[in-house]
A and B are shown apart, each in its own frame.
Chain A
Amino acid sequence: MAELDMSEAISAYHAQRPRLLQEHGPSWVVFVGADFKGSFKEFDDAASFALEKFSAAQFLIRHTEEHIPHVPLVVVEAA
Chain B
Amino acid sequence: MNPLSQAPGPVITIEGIVIDVIVHREPKAASEPGVPEFLEHGAMIDTGASDTCIDYRIAHALKLRQIDQRTIGTVGGPIQVAVFLGVLEIPQLNFKGLDRFFAPKIERINYSVLIGRSVLKEFLFTYDGPANVCHFARPQSPPDHDDFAS
Q: Which residues of A contact B (CB under 8 A)?
A: 1, 3-4, 6, 10, 43-44, 47-48, 50-51, 55, 58-62, 68-77
Min Cβ gap A58→B in Å is: 8
| CB <8 Å contact, A70 and B76 | no
Most buried by B among A59, A60, A72, A77: A72
> Is B36 on the interface with A (CB-CB < 8 A)?
no
| CB <8 Å contact, A62 and B68 | yes
Q: Which residues of B contact A (CB under 8 A)?
A: 26-28, 44, 46, 48-51, 53, 59-60, 63, 66-79, 82, 85, 97-100, 102, 104, 106-108, 114, 116, 118
B50, B59, B82, B106: the one contacting A70 at CB < 8 Å is B50
| CB <8 Å contact, B104 and A3 | no
| CB <8 Å contact, A51 and B68 | no
Cβ contacts under 8 Å, A72 to chain B: 48-49, 73-75
Which 9 A-B pairs give the minimum distances between C-beta atoms? Answer: A76-B76, A74-B74, A70-B73, A47-B98, A71-B49, A3-B82, A1-B60, A69-B72, A69-B50
Bound Cα distance A73, B116 (Å)? 11
Cβ contacts under 8 Å, A73 to chain B: 44, 46, 48-49, 74-75, 114
